[in-house]
Amino acid sequence: MSLETETKKPAVVFVLGGPGSGKGTQCANIVRDFGFVHLSAGDLLRTEMNSGSQNGDMISTMIKNGEIVPSIVTVKLLKNAINDHPKKNFLVDGFPRNEENNKSWEDNMTNVVDTKFVLFFDCPEEVMTERLLKRGEHSGRSDDNLESIKKRFNTFNIQTMAVIEHYGKQNKVEKVNSNRDPKDVYTDVKSIFKKYFGTY
Ligand SMILES: Nc1ncnc2c1ncn2[C@@H]1O[C@H](COP(=O)(O)OP(=O)(O)OP(=O)(O)O)[C@@H](O)[C@H]1O
Ligand SMILES: Nc1ccn([C@H]2C[C@H](O)[C@@H](COP(=O)(O)O)O2)c(=O)n1
Ligand SMILES: [Mg+2]
């Protein structure tokens, strides 16, 4: 590629943490202050589920059971959403949730984006459970109930922690204690984003 036509790839930060650790809450702050686009894999799957897609029933069952939807579905949704926002940087929230997600991302997205690091929100299960049950009073989510929450923790501990450890070995994990007031959590998040992206 010549110097004139060379363009910088969009930056991607993966945002991971247990269910209810505060990923979506903190992403909203980063969007406001750093101009990233927030892509929640779970939100994209819920929209797809409600769109009349042929994958709707599968997605619905898997979400209720806290299982990870095949990457062929999720990566396509993420890729389409990224293509909708030229010249932006992205927070990819709730992804990659397992090794298969990560492999599919590497196979399909390495040439398209520059994956910078994993922002990992660490929070005890008891605290996350309390938050999710409270959210379940109004969220309408089929998985904000005790039975689904237990399954989601199991999937997180077995499958997602392995991905976080994989990136940890490459010194690409920024871990933040999210068992604090959201403002204090964001103080740490903001200083991480300033370190990587400078502005604000
Ligand atoms: N630091 C915090 N302290 C107390 N409550 C919080 C905090 N962060 C988020 N919450 C609340 O906890 C609930 C879960 O937060 P949020 O939706 O941001 O988590 P999440 O990690 O995106 O969850 P999920 O994985 O289920 O999508 C929400 O009701 C939110 O208002
Ligand atoms: N990469 C992903 C992300 C999410 N899902 C499914 C399974 C999750 O339990 C559910 C909700 O995600 P959340 O909104 O809590 O981030 O969505 C998946 O299969 N693959
Ligand atoms: Mg969320």
Quickly list DSSP for 36-98.
Answer: PEEEEHHHHHHHHHTTT-TTHHHHHHHHHTTPPPPHHHHHHHHHHHHHTSTT--EEEET---S
pTM of the model: 0.97
**Residue 131 known to bind ligand:** no
- What mean pLDDT is reported for the chain? 96
Over range 107-120, report the average pLDDT.
Answer: 98
What's the CA angle centered on 29, arms 23 and 35, to 5 degrees? Answer: 110
30, pLDDT greater than 70: yes
Find the 63 Cα to ligand 2 centroid distance in Å.
7
**Does residue 41's CB lie within 6 angstroms of at least one atom of ligand 2?**
yes
Query: Residue 3: pLDDT band by 50, 70, 90 thresholds?
Result: low
> What is the distance between the alpha carbons of residues 157 and 164, in angstroms, rounded to a whole number?
10
Q: Whose CA is nearest to atom 17 of ligand 1?
A: 24
Give burial (CB, 10 Å; 0-12/13-18/19+) of 25: middle
The per-residue pLDDT for 36 is 98
- Cβ within 8 Å of residue 139, ≥6 positions away: none
Find the 43 Cα to ligand 1 centroid distance in Å.
14
**Residue 22 known to bind ligand:** yes
DSSP state of 10: P
The pLDDT tens digits of the residues spanning 51-96 come to: 999 999 999 999 999 999 999 999 999 999 999 999 899 999 999 9
The per-residue pLDDT for 7 is 75
Over range 124-150, report the average pLDDT.
Answer: 98
Please say whether the structural domain 7-194 has been given the CATH code 3.40.50.300.
yes
- The residues lining ligand 1, judged by C-beta closer than 6 Å to any ligand atom, are 17, 19-25, 42, 94, 131, 135, 178, 180, 182, 185
How many residues make up the chain in this entry? 200
Window from 6-15, 18-27, 53-62, 137-146 with minimum mean pLDDT: 6-15
